Structure 1
Amino acid sequence: MIITISNSVLTATIKSLGAELCSLTDQNNKEYIWEGNPNFWGKHSPILFPIVGTLKNNCYQLNGKTYTLLRHGFAREMDFKLLDQVQNSVTFSLRSSEETLKLFPFDFELQLIYTIVDASVIIEYKVINSGDNKMPFAIGAHPAFALPNDFTNYSLAFEKEESLDYHLLENDLISDVTKKIIHHDKQVPLNYTLFENDALIFKKLRSNSITILENQKPFLKVNFEDFPSLGIWTKVNAPFICIEPWFGYSDTVKSSGNLFDKEGIQILNVAETFKSKFSIEILN
């Protein structure tokens, strides 16, 4: 199922599979979301839940039992139910099931709410603990933005001054080794050598937004005030950039495998609801 919401400025298209935003266009039909060409990467903007990134050996331990859970979790591959729709907003829901309980033994409801306001699409997450035990989880966004011109024409502008120390990955796990990105006036010019070792992972940032510029002209901003961590990623020679606000990240190389002890994990009490949101704002 494919749902379209709109106002006089923007039109967004969302698939029920993964409740994934797959198109965002302005009134001139300019596309801002990556097309999902599988020759590079076949996704557009997947939801990462109940983990972000990779677990050591793709598994975790809970109450003496080992569970297998692949990279970024299962929500992005599951069909969400449509709960509500109006012209400029839509709500999707994924509930725990016999299938999910084999991978993640917790009762939950995950809601995604997309709302277009002026020149922004707001993406809101709600995670509801509907079980009888505390629930550990991570959640994150993975939107890919189309960069149709030469990659080096683009740069990222951080809201605040940053040291920009990021953690290198070792077998898809976060190592203790960090590197620093050289930048000037809060801007990082894009080039593919930045991503030769995969994603740039920032456990903490001061900034609450990042703006994409083309030839020094701002055209899109990602606002992520609630989110403590961030990934930035592309594939070498691919015409897109992912700006990924996260609650949580991959296991570290020293991870014990205990999900409750996982670095960056969120813990949700019984009957509580976790809420967070970020937005994609079109500037031109």
Structure 2
Amino acid sequence: MRSEDVSRSLGLDPSWIERRTGIRHRHVAAPEQAASDLAAAAAGRALRAAGLEAADIGLIVLGTSTPDELGPSTACRVQALLGARDAAAFDIAAACAGFVYGLQTAVGWLAAQPVAAPHALVIGVEVYSRFLDPADRGTTALFGDGAAAAVLGPSAPPYGLGPVTLGADGSQAGDVLIPAGGSRRPASADTLADRGHTIHMNGRATRDFIAGIFPRLVAEATEAAGVKPADLALVVPHQPNPRLVASLAPDAGLDPAQLAISGYDVGNIGAASLPYALDRALRAGRVAPGDLVLIAGFGAGLTWGHTLITWPPS
């Protein structure tokens, strides 16, 4: 769906969304598609790219804010769709930082397995279109639907994932949330009437959080690794507002050319944004063996996390 069409639906100038966010398009899931359908398709592509079968997967970790149901986990739905009968499966509710949280979970699981360990699937997926108030320009302008997945397996030093650093600040949980549908405000005629089942976002607070957290994550990751921001071959940030995140590159000590920004074409796809942007960068030939790649996620909760990858030979 084109942003100019979304702008018109909001009664705005056709260029309003693109001028403020840089987002040109976003995908909308078909009516019959749930999060598990998008996630399974992305996981299947990741398995084929890795030359693996579903039977090779021992763990499925799925990050999402828009699950098929409150329970069971959407990861279990994906396990069934893939036919990965030997895989443990569960969801992670860390919003847009869910992929980084999933990486940490998969790394810990792999480290505890025998030498001939199976592989792990880490998936990010969102179907935000089902949770938007079409009259709310602050959310409708930003969010899209999407899924992406990564396969993790053993790697030999010096290649692979470095330490994963995670953080959260629950005191700001109200800044971005879907307030109804859980145990605090179960579904009722009142919650439907006040659109409690749609995304509510404090735009100013969210913008301030992004402006502070992204440069901080870059500084933390590079200082811990004993490198400089300029040494990073690629930086993959979450991109709720692509234009805003790109504008923060100088504050983080980065050249904008170091950033992998794909949100211009898909909008904010939440937990899927990091693996999707990384895949786009890999397909474009932007990463070579030995390159340092920073993954930096942040989102509702508030949650955040980062890790450095020393890219392995293909």
Tell me the TM-score normalised to structure 1 length: 0.27
By relative contact order (CA 8 Å, sep 6+), the higher-ranking structure is 2
Return the structure number with greater strand share: 1
Higher helix share: 2
> TM-score, structure 2 length as denominator?
0.25
